[in-house]
Structure 1
Amino acid sequence: MGKSKSTTTTKKWIRKIHLYLGLATGLVVLIVSLTGCLWVFQEEINELTSGVPQVEPQNAEKIDPLEAKNMAQTVFPGKHVHGTLYEGGANPIQVIFYEEEPEEFYSSVFLNPWDGEVLHIENHLTGFFHFILDGHMHLWLPPVIGSEIVAWSTVIFFLMIISGIILWWPKNKKVRGQRTWFRWNPGTKWKRKNYDLHQIVGFYASFIAVFFILTGLIMTFDAFSAGFYKAIGGEKGIEFSVPLNNSGALTTKEGEEPIRELMPMLQERFPDAKDYEIHYPYDENYSIYVEVSNSDGIYYDSDYRFYDQNNLAEVPSESIYGVYEEAGFSETVLRMNYDIHVGAIGGIPGKVLAFFISLFCASLPVTGFLLWYGRTFKTKKSQVKVEKKERVMAYQQ
């Protein structure tokens, strides 16, 4: 009997913690889940609705990365060029501008690959999906405030998932079976349906939602990311870093920079690559960083390669971001993090799963709130009825 009473008391406290944490973070979980749900297919939707024109492929040499940079900077003079993306086929070259300070700036200039004509200009800080991402990451608040609220609410939601499973799990196998599927009939009241939705949907969603929560925490907390990486056997640095040139500072004259010959070399060495994103060196001492994409729709198997500015000799990476084929188990798992978070790791089926799990997670704060509100309101209403009945009886006496 003592053990049973102790178990009941423990569950009572877990239920209270689950309730109060849910009331405190419910709105945040709802927003983050719904925006995550909408973000899942942003690449596919952007591809269908893109205003970027296609070009007629030519059998001629494309403009080199420095030419592309200089031509694009006539559109945004003085702005920092983050990198230039060569996709091939009928796609124009995309020169990407990005600055965090003094004010965030994120735009792209699309150029004709053969003559450098400006074909399209796109501001990445506007539009539907930027709005969705801002809500997902910052709740449309200033990032310094919103990101912290989202981060700690995610931690709390993880605790709620664990406490929810504990509360769901019954001792009786017969009762457990009743909590794994809906047994509604025409006479089932909405309160019962809401209760079942919260318990059954929450139970099934929890086991997959845990992966989305953990991958979110890895992206949010550096300490958590480092701890997770070490726990699975990682030994390299997890911070992205661009190595220095092996040959020292750049010594070639203007107009003769080896970076101008980089694209033909990349296309010869990696003919099956989907695209090449070239990032310009920080200064004359740093190597050229190139991201070679090997697959459509996923990022973890991309090659992060670094080339000496003086001779285009490859410079090895000291971090987890290097050549994919050389990545060990722990490096691969950490590099997969974003693809797991958005479901891309499983292709379109994985994204569909991520969409519905996010949608189910969004429903939990709603059904949970309705459960709490129904019980609280019903209790108060019952008390009012009793008090009214007592007053009537006292008056009659």
Structure 2
Amino acid sequence: MGKNKPTKKFRKYIRTVHLYLGLATGLVVFIVSITGCLWVFQEEIKALTSNVPEVVPQNNPEIDPLEVKNIAQNVFPGKHVHGTLYQGGTSPIEVIFYEEKPEFYKSVFVHPWSGEILHIEDHLSGFFHFVLDGHMHLWLPAEIGSEIVAWSTFIFFLMLVSGIILWWPKNKKVRKQRTWFQWKESTKWKRKNYDLHQIIGFYASFIAVIFIFTGLIMTFDSFAAGFYKTIGGEKEVVFSVPENPAGSFKSTGDGNEPIRQLMPFLKDKFPDAKDYEIHYPYDENHSIYVEVSNSDGIYYDSDYRFYDQNDLAEVPSETIYGVYKEAGVAEKILRMNYDIHVGAIAGLPGKILAFLISLLCSSLPITGFLVWYGKKVKAKTPKRKDRRALATSN
């Protein structure tokens, strides 16, 4: 008896912590899980429902990055151009505008050869923007909602660990009962709900912990940096654009800026790339930043390349964001983080798994609340003997 007392006290303490953390964060966990579940297939659904028109491919060179930027800038004068995406094939050129405060996020789709404006898209409207806003900010102001989500995610991580501790039984017989549903016709809803919470939580937690861990990496910069250093990383984790090695850029005024030749240069050097996203220099001192996508549906193996504004000489990166094949193991792991988080790292099966795990996680706050509520109601309901005494006294 004496040996079991510390264990019982520890489990009681864990159960209390699990309960109150669950009650405190249940609604947040439900929203984050269900919106994450809906977000998983957003790229596939957007591709099917897109209103962006296709173009007929031509053999002529596409309009250059400066020209297409000027065309799009006439639509939103004074707004900051985040980048220009060349996808090739039947896709128009997409000029992306983004400003953080006040938030402005739109795209202008331009015909690659005629320069005609084909479509304008607002990324801050529609179903999936609503879903993402809920997932990241709970539809609250970003500075408030993001903090609530961040710390609730961390607490949910602790709850999964405490849940496994509470689930783990003392003997094999009980363990077998807790690995699958043992329902009969006489099994009451409280028992069914309890089993749902325990069994689903147990199986889901081992995979969910991966998705939560990757979420924490995206949420906390210090957590990402610490994890990266722990697995042997030595480079800078924060993204930065290097300066021009050849010095500040001075325009000759003849309209022959090197950036105008960037697309033929990129296509010649990386003919198998899926697309090229060009980011214009911050100022005359910084290089041109280009994302060269090497695969469809994933981001981790993209190449982050930087070119001197003066002569398009390639500039090396001092951060983890560089050429994928030249990255070390630690850099590759960290760069895989988003694709792991949404399941894309394993293709369609991975996304289906992410969808199911997110869906199961969204059920845990509900079943957990019902377990607590059932016990609370039971505790307040008089026992049969007490009810009989009450009836007699009346």
TM-score (norm 1): 0.97
Tell me the equivalent position of 1:35.
35
Match in the other structure for 1:175: 174
* Residue aligning to 1:120: 119
- Return the letter of the residue paired with 1:166: I
- The unaligned stretches of length 5 or more in structure 2 are none
User: Amino acid of the residue matched to residue 374 of structure 1?
Assistant: G
Tell me the alpha carbon deviations over residues 272-314 of structure 1, each in whole angstroms, 9 at most, x when there is no partner: 0000000000011100000000000000000000000000000
- What letter matches 2:244 in structure 1? N
Structure 1 pair 194/392, CA: closer, same or farther in 2 (3 Å)? closer
Distance (Å, rounded) in 2 between the aligned partners of 1:117 and 1:386: 83
Q: Secondary structure at the match of 2:292?
A: strand
Judging changes above 3 Å, is the alpha-carbon distance between structure 1 residues 328 and 268 closer, same or farther for their aligned structure 2 residues? Answer: same
Confirm or deny that 1:274 pairs with 2:280.
no
Question: Deviations for 1:180-203, whole angstroms, at most 9, x for unmatched residues?
Answer: 111223332221111111011000
**Cα distance in 1 between the residues matched to 2:387 and 2:159:** 39
Equivalent position amino acid for 2:249 in 1: L
- Which residue of structure 2 aligns with residue 79 of structure 1? 79
TM superposition shift of 1:76: 0.4
- Cα shift at 1:49: 0.3
SS of residue in 1 equivalent to 2:128 = helix
Aligned equivalent of 1:94: 94
- Aligned mates of 1:177, 1:388 — CA distance in 2: 37
Aligned-pair CA distance for 1:89? 0.2
Deviations 1:231-269 (A, max 9, x none): 000000000000000000112323111000000010001
Deviation per residue, 1:119-175 (Å, 9 max, x gap)? 000000000000000000000000111001000001110110000000000110111
- Take 2:391 and 2:201, find their aligned partners in 1: how far apart are those partners? 45
Deviates more, 1:192-201 or 1:125-134: 192-201
CA displacement at 1:92 relative to structure 2: 0.2
Matched, 1:195 2:176: no
Greater shift after overlay, 148-157 or 246-255? 246-255
Counterpart in 2 of 1:264?
A: 264
Instruction: Write the distance in 2 (CA, Å) between the matches of 1:134 and 1:253.
Output: 45
Residue 382 of structure 1: aligned partner: 382
Q: SS of the residue aligned with 2:268?
A: helix
**1:330 maps to 2:303:** no
After superposition, the C-alpha distances for 1:55-105 in whole angstroms (9 at most, x for unaligned) are 01111111000000000011101100000000000000000000112x100
Provide the residue aligned with 2:226 in structure 1: 227
Q: Distance in 2 between matches of 1:337 and 1:266?
A: 27
The letter for the 1-side match of 2:158 is: L
What per-residue deviation string (whole Å, max 9, x for no partner) do you get for residues 211-248 of structure 1?
11110100111111110000000000000000000000
Query: Cα gap change, 1:188/1:389 in structure 2, threshold over 3 Å: closer, same or farther?
Result: closer
- 2:382 partner SS: helix
TM-score normalised by length of structure 2: 0.98
Does residue 164 of structure 2 align to residue 165 of structure 1? yes
Q: Which residue of 2 aligns with 1:252?
A: 251
3-state DSSP of counterpart to 1:382: coil
Give the paired residue count. 393
Instruction: Give the equivalent residue in structure 1 for 2:138.
Output: 139
Deviation at residue 387 of structure 1 after TM alignment: 5.0
Instruction: Name the amino acid aligned to 1:153.
Output: S
Q: Which residue identity lines up with residue 98 of structure 2 in the other structure?
A: Y
> Residue type matched to 1:299 in 2?
Y
CA distance in 2, matches of 1:394, 1:272: 87
Distance 1:391 1:214 in 2: 54
Name structure 1 gaps, 5 residues minimum: none
- Post-superposition offset of 1:392: 4.3
Residue 382 of structure 1, CA deviation? 2.4
- CA RMSD across the alignment: 1.1
2:320 matched to which residue of 1?
320
- The code of the aligned residue for 2:25 comes to T
Q: CA deviation at 1:13?
A: 1.0
1:390: how far off? 3.3
Rounded Cα–Cα distance in structure 1 between residues aligned with 2:217 and 2:3: 38
Name the aligned partner's letter for residue 212 of structure 1. Answer: F
3-state secondary structure, aligned to 1:2: coil
| Corresponding residue for residue 209 of structure 1 | 208
Which letter maps to 1:168? W
2:381 is paired with a residue whose SS is helix
Residue 394 of structure 1 deviates from its aligned partner by 4.8
Letter in 2 for 1:118: I
**2:78 is aligned with what amino acid?**
G
Q: How far apart in 2 are the matches of 1:246 and 1:349? A: 45
Identical aligned pairs, as a percentage?
74
